[in-house]
Structure 1
Amino acid sequence: MRIRLLGGLEVTSPELRQIRFATRKTSLLFAALVLGGRRGYRREQLCEAFWPGRSNGQARSSLRQALVDIRRAFPADKDAGVYIDGDQNAVALIAGPDEADISIFDRKLVDGRPADLAFAADLYRGELLAGESIPDGLDEWFGPYQGMYQRKAQQLVERLSLALSEPGSAEESACEGLAERLLASDPTVEAAHRALIRIHALRGHENAALRQLESCRALLQKHLGAEPEALTASLAPSLQSRARPEYQRITPGPDVVSQPQVFSVSTKHHDRPSVAVLPFQNLSGDMEQEYFADGIVEDIIIALAQFRHLYVIARNSSFAYKGRAVDIKQVGRELDVRYVVEGSVRRTADRLRIAGQLIDTSTGAHLWADRFDGTVANVFDLQDQVASSIVGAITPRLEEAEIERAKRKPTESLDAYDYYLRGLAAFDRTITSRSVIDDALRLFMKAADHDPEFAIAYARAARCYATRKSNGWMVNPAEEIAEATRLARRAVELGRDDAIALSYGGYVLGYVGGDLDESAACIDRALLLNPNLAAALGVSSWVKACLGEPEKAVEHAALAMRLSPFDPRLFAWQFNTGLAHFCAGRYDEAVAWAGKSLRHQPNYPSAMRVVAAGNALAGRLAEAQDMIARICEFDPALRLSNLVDVLPPFRRPDDRDRYIDALWRAGLPE
């Protein structure tokens, strides 16, 4: 093993000489290539991340210089265990399976025997790249990897502590060391506390185990203001029954929970959708899958909590139902939630199947169900995939269910959120027309009138004006552009921590207000707040296309569609993909994607224009002219002379000029 990332970056040569790269950025680039593995990265992607703000030529030159430094340390020859491979477009670090600690760590987790787990525990010296000074911007690159390996280490310490059978073993020592390292980094890691509790109990030191439990409770209160999870609290009864009397005299009785219990939630009626994610059932009969299932649930809870319009019940409360047969309606009453997510994990040989479903607690009706299949070898990748897929699938379902609830309420009892939901029903879930957009705008403004701090309502109202601009429906463009910009600015001011408000407010500031830089800043912040928000990725694809970054635009639109494949805004993301391909000069792909958009939303003039322009530049003038005739029927006033009123604000003049020229070739009147 010559490359260590866990606990800090450490690289040695075959002669065991420590390798130091010329610059800190080269060291971090090397770490990124190790994490990327054989799939590598596009050079453009590395340039943008590691040398932002530089011209393309300067960034590529810096990248080449850094790669020369790495190649100097790891020359590519026939016996090389580590070397750089790549071409003009992409680059990867090729390393053998035993060259990097993270490769060995991951393999030992999959092997799963106690000795393998102990080996992995010893490899985890600390957090990924601990102690490295990571500059602003690159923390977004490395952050997901750091979080992933922290989760793996926490799951590892739990698995290993449960596999211990006798005191004094090498596995016990490795588990104890890992638990102490985890707590040194974060004293609230309950899995590490539980591991130490089990180790003390295994050694017959019940009093020490109880002290560890109390220490866990005190640290959680101090740092998080929270109680221990039900799984932690459930360790107390057996310890108390065996503990010596002298400990009982100094232990405050009420502080030790004798049974896993339901943590009650305020019975206040929420005016936002509320959801609890229950522990997934382990149908495998394999205790190792228990932690995989718990990890999925924890990831889903964390991801859902990033949606500020949802009330998400904390893990402590929902895990109180672990191992119990539950009645969904009773869970709804006890936790005061409208919706519950439940699921199961089943392992057969080397295959895993995860099933999930979303249930309305008031009726018991199943609103969504799906299953996910994968291999044990890719267990952690599958965990992340399942969590993001479930979140992406259920958030639109929750929204649809809430809209139906609002529709059933009498109009005299509507509040701000109900007006907002009715506006959504008009805006996103019907074929677009001028009257529909007018109704949606009226409803969003009513929501804002009822709640002047309702950031998303302002953002959606501003979005209505953007639709009016795109369709040529503005009656007084100067006044409406000013109002749209005012509403968008109000949305992003009120919603600095609201990813949806930032997404749509930012989009309007770009399309209607023409400020691409502010638009991109708002949307980037939305993605930082909630990387699972398909709407943010969708509008990000649009702004990336406008900024002249078509590859990134296609990538973000594809991720939005994967996260939310049945989203009512799917047609917009398909159009964004078509627009990006047009900007990249791929006219056949542009026409295909814009055509998909029109199949979902036939009255979408932006997609019509891309189809016409793409066909014209691909040499299919008859098809282009047919689409222009359809555009003119939809918007008789559109001309080349006023086309600028509806065009995206392209940053690259060539994109704008080709678009206008293509529509001229297709026959748009002057």
Structure 2
Amino acid sequence: MDSLHTSTFKLSLLGNFALTGHDRPIDLASKKLSGLLAYLALAGPTPQPREKLFSLFWGSHFEVQARQNLRTALFRLRSILGRDAVISAGEAISLAPGLVTCDVVRLEDLVRDGSRAALAEAAGLYKGRLLADVNIEEDAWSEWAEVQRQRIEGMALDAMVNLSEQELQLGNHEQALEAAGRAVAVNGLREDAHRLIVRALAVAGRKAEALKHYQDLIALLKRELNTEPDAATKALVAELRSTQPSSRSPDVGDVAEPAPAHTTGSERPAMVVLPFQNVSGDPEQEYFADGVTEDIITALSRFHEFAVIARGSSFAFKGKRLTGRQLAQELGVHYVLSGSIRRVRDRIRVSVELTHAESEVQVWSDRYDRALMHVFDLQDEISGTVAAVVAPALRRAEIERARRKPAANLSAYDLYLRALPHLWHGTGDDLTKAIEFLRQSLKLDNTGAPTLAALAWGLIMTLPLLGNASPETRNEALALARRAVELDDTDAFAQAVYGFTLFGPVGQDHHQGRIHSKEALRLNPSSAFAWGTLGMIGAMGGEYENAIECLDRSLALSPYDDMLWMWTTGLTSSYFALGRYEEGIAWARKSVQHKPGHGTGHRMLAANLAAAGRLEEARDVTRTRDAVRKTTIRELRAARFFKQDDVLERYLSAQRMAGVAE
């Protein structure tokens, strides 16, 4: 087939595979060629080792034959997509940047955005399971495809459920029904979607239909899972049955929930990590499973938001089959983390699940596939990755619990939890709400280091998000952060906040700021927040290469982090300072996309564009931003994002070229 000689192709992977170029479909005539293109497109600009591609597509072949097959496949892709379509750098392969637009990548970007319009577009993009018609008879491909299908389906379902929730909050019950119904059509066992359908029907005055839907859900769960609806669904329906029809949605938040079965001397939730099961059939892998469990216990214990049962008590239950309720009674825990480890040839698969102990409802689950390497390095990587993801998953579950609790019964801890989503959402209105909740929490208990640190962070963020951090606000933030560290100098979050407060726009003690931020990482190497704050200190303080390394690490630990807008701003400013403007432009666009209202992201985009000689684009960005909030060179100089005079002057010069007035 002749080359189409075009720079951009459209790739659809959700549902059946489809490739178009020049507005006409292109038939690759090979499942493996389709799979190879899809895999490289999802990998983005990250080069993929040839060895990984051998395993995925020709793992059952001898290496010589696999190499030849890959060379042939790459030749065919180049003949179809263009001579420069595939980049070969030694033993690594990648697609040329901008070669394809991919529906999965677009879906991921929309879900990160999280706005109602973005979620609606994301829900519409999901046409079916990833590569539904591409089946390749190789173990590595089957495992990779299944993991990606579950991940992307889960992401799409979350978008549909979140869209339904937003529509319901706005009173759009028909749109809420449609979004939740779409989620149920994809996965009929998604109980939070069923709950939204019941709520939407109720608010529409269709109480009989709501109760009928609940009865159908009972039958479905009994038939498919031999279980009952969870406590939240039962509480919602109990409220619905006890009230007269009204225009108001009977929300789960209106129903008092039973008190938790356990407290740990504070209100922190407690968790047990059960010994991971070795399902490899190889007794030699038992030590590896135990090692991973111990490392996860150690990594999770560094997060001070919850208590983790010690290793001795955890391993006392090895080999025993206890229910979550039994574990709650035995150990007094709220959450149970369990998992299994399987070795398949030269790869390790780790499956992990977090459940609520009393209700035994799954809170979060995931699978990790890794190449078999040095055993201790692999243990460290898996434990750090799992800990970094489990901590926010548990936090979200606790936030949801606090959200459902009646306002009259809120404790200091509940108020702290209610503040967190607003604190990280990154808008001025949310920040104001977060500060209000945190002040209320401290009125009830002013000895909580996490609450003090969270309020300090909220006050710091009033400068970039509200543009009005007064000297009094800055001084209060510094005092709160210092008090948090004085109360608990082993809290990594408090140390990270204090370090940033000392260094950043609030304080001027750069040396001590770095010390406390590095101490946060020593205390908790799995903290994406600690990596992010240290990266921002580097971005502002002139350690640009180190900043990029730290911020990349933060994004690797938490790729969908609520602070993505800030970490990407740090990356774009670092690339600007290093004179790597095209990379700065790419990261600035991600920052603006994630948080369109964040002014610094727009300014950094304009600066990189201007420095790269793309003046019209830079001026367009400035005009767009100034329509919202106009700024001046004088204000940008006073804000002093860059501490180095030469970089600051280059930044201000770029802003002048971009059209910012003196």
| TM-score normalised over the length of structure 2 | 0.58
Query: Is the contact made by 2:385 and 2:526 (CA closer than 8 Å) also made in structure 1?
Result: no
Percent of residue pairs identical: 39
Tell me, yes or no, if structure 1 residue 510 matches structure 2 residue 464. no
**1:166 alignment counterpart:** none
Tell me, yes or no, if structure 1 residue 492 matches structure 2 residue 485. yes
Structure 1 letter corresponding to 2:539: A
Give the alignment partner of residue 652 of structure 1, picking from 627, 644, 657. Answer: 644
The Cα offsets for residues 95-119 of structure 1, whole Å up to 9 and x where unpaired, read as: xxxxxxxxxxxxxxxxxxxxxxxxx
| Structure 1 unaligned spans of 5+ | 1-264
Tell me, yes or no, if structure 1 residue 634 matches structure 2 residue 644. no
Tell me, yes or no, if structure 1 residue 441 matches structure 2 residue 435. yes
1:541 Cα shift?
A: 0.3
**1:311 alignment counterpart:** 307
Matches within 5 A, 1:127-526: 268=264, 270-428=266-424, 430=425, 432-474=426-468, 477-511=470-504, 512-526=506-520
Q: Which range is displaced more, 358-367 or 309-318?
A: 358-367
Structure 2 letter corresponding to 1:556: C
**1:567 alignment counterpart:** 561
Question: Equivalent residue of 1:343, what SS?
Answer: strand
Query: Is the contact made by 1:339 and 1:358 (CA closer than 8 Å) also made in structure 2?
Result: yes
Query: Is the contact made by 2:262 and 2:333 (CA closer than 8 Å) also made in structure 1?
Result: no
1:270 Cα shift?
A: 4.8
Q: 1:268 to 1:533 in 2, by over 3 A?
A: closer
Query: Is the contact made by 1:472 and 1:646 (CA closer than 8 Å) also made in structure 2?
Result: no
Matches within 5 A, 1:604-619: 604-619=598-613
Query: Is the contact made by 1:499 and 1:529 (CA closer than 8 Å) also made in structure 2?
Result: yes
The Cα offsets for residues 63-98 of structure 1, whole Å up to 9 and x where unpaired, read as: xxxxxxxxxxxxxxxxxxxxxxxxxxxxxxxxxxxx
The Cα offsets for residues 409-450 of structure 1, whole Å up to 9 and x where unpaired, read as: 11222122111111111121x3x3322211111111222222
Query: Is the contact made by 2:336 and 2:356 (CA closer than 8 Å) also made in structure 1?
Result: yes
Structure 2 letter corresponding to 1:549: E
CA–CA distance in structure 2, aligned partners of residues 268 and 518 of structure 1: 34
CA–CA distance in structure 2, aligned partners of residues 608 and 666 of structure 1: 11
CA–CA distance in structure 2, aligned partners of residues 374 and 652 of structure 1: 42
Matches within 5 A, 1:13-24: none
Structure 2 letter corresponding to 1:657: E
Question: Equivalent residue of 1:417, what SS?
Answer: helix
CA–CA distance in structure 2, aligned partners of residues 645 and 330 of structure 1: 60
CA–CA distance in structure 2, aligned partners of residues 501 and 374 of structure 1: 33
Tell me, yes or no, if structure 1 residue 591 matches structure 2 residue 594. no
Runs of 4+ in structure 1 over 4 Å off: 265-270
Structure 2 letter corresponding to 1:282: N
Structure 1 letter corresponding to 2:491: D
CA–CA distance in structure 1, aligned partners of residues 263 and 528 of structure 2: 31
Q: Which range is displaced more, 506-515 or 267-276?
A: 267-276
Task: Give RMSD over aligned pairs.
Answer: 1.9
1:328 Cα shift?
A: 2.1
Question: Equivalent residue of 1:634, what SS?
Answer: coil
Query: Is the contact made by 2:514 and 2:534 (CA closer than 8 Å) also made in structure 1?
Result: yes
CA–CA distance in structure 2, aligned partners of residues 646 and 491 of structure 1: 26
Q: 1:644 to 1:342 in 2, by over 3 A?
A: same
CA–CA distance in structure 1, aligned partners of residues 561 and 350 of structure 2: 22
CA–CA distance in structure 2, aligned partners of residues 645 and 340 of structure 1: 50
CA–CA distance in structure 2, aligned partners of residues 376 and 473 of structure 1: 50
1:402 Cα shift?
A: 0.9
**1:127 alignment counterpart:** none
1:491 Cα shift?
A: 2.7
Give the alignment partner of residue 545 of structure 1, picking from 535, 539, 543. Answer: 539
1:269 Cα shift?
A: 6.8
Query: Is the contact made by 2:428 and 2:466 (CA closer than 8 Å) also made in structure 1?
Result: no
The Cα offsets for residues 516-535 of structure 1, whole Å up to 9 and x where unpaired, read as: 22221110111111111111
CA–CA distance in structure 2, aligned partners of residues 421 and 438 of structure 1: 15
| Structure 2 unaligned spans of 5+ | 1-260
Structure 2 letter corresponding to 1:470: P
CA–CA distance in structure 2, aligned partners of residues 619 and 277 of structure 1: 54
**1:160 alignment counterpart:** none
CA–CA distance in structure 2, aligned partners of residues 594 and 641 of structure 1: 22
CA–CA distance in structure 2, aligned partners of residues 457 and 350 of structure 1: 45
Q: 1:579 to 1:329 in 2, by over 3 A?
A: farther
Structure 1 letter corresponding to 2:661: P
CA–CA distance in structure 2, aligned partners of residues 323 and 565 of structure 1: 35
Give the alignment partner of residue 663 of structure 1, picking from 646, 652, 655. Answer: 655
Q: 1:377 to 1:591 in 2, by over 3 A?
A: closer
Query: Is the contact made by 2:492 and 2:519 (CA closer than 8 Å) also made in structure 1?
Result: yes
CA–CA distance in structure 1, aligned partners of residues 611 and 351 of structure 2: 47
Structure 2 letter corresponding to 1:311: A
Query: Is the contact made by 1:471 and 1:635 (CA closer than 8 Å) also made in structure 2?
Result: no
CA–CA distance in structure 2, aligned partners of residues 324 and 602 of structure 1: 51
Question: Equivalent residue of 2:353, what SS?
Answer: strand
CA–CA distance in structure 1, aligned partners of residues 262 and 417 of structure 2: 24
Question: Equivalent residue of 2:316, what SS?
Answer: helix
The Cα offsets for residues 278-313 of structure 1, whole Å up to 9 and x where unpaired, read as: 011111121110100000000000011111222000
Query: Is the contact made by 1:426 and 1:437 (CA closer than 8 Å) also made in structure 2?
Result: yes
Structure 1 letter corresponding to 2:338: E
**1:208 alignment counterpart:** none
CA–CA distance in structure 2, aligned partners of residues 621 and 267 of structure 1: 60
1:392 Cα shift?
A: 0.9
| TM-score normalised over the length of structure 1 | 0.58
CA–CA distance in structure 2, aligned partners of residues 267 and 641 of structure 1: 53
Query: Is the contact made by 1:275 and 1:341 (CA closer than 8 Å) also made in structure 2?
Result: yes
Q: 1:267 to 1:653 in 2, by over 3 A?
A: closer
1:611 Cα shift?
A: 0.6
Structure 2 letter corresponding to 1:360: H
1:315 Cα shift?
A: 0.9
CA–CA distance in structure 2, aligned partners of residues 507 and 662 of structure 1: 27
1:485 Cα shift?
A: 2.5
Q: 1:396 to 1:645 in 2, by over 3 A?
A: farther
Query: Is the contact made by 2:262 and 2:334 (CA closer than 8 Å) also made in structure 1?
Result: no
1:566 Cα shift?
A: 2.4
The Cα offsets for residues 144-181 of structure 1, whole Å up to 9 and x where unpaired, read as: xxxxxxxxxxxxxxxxxxxxxxxxxxxxxxxxxxxxxx
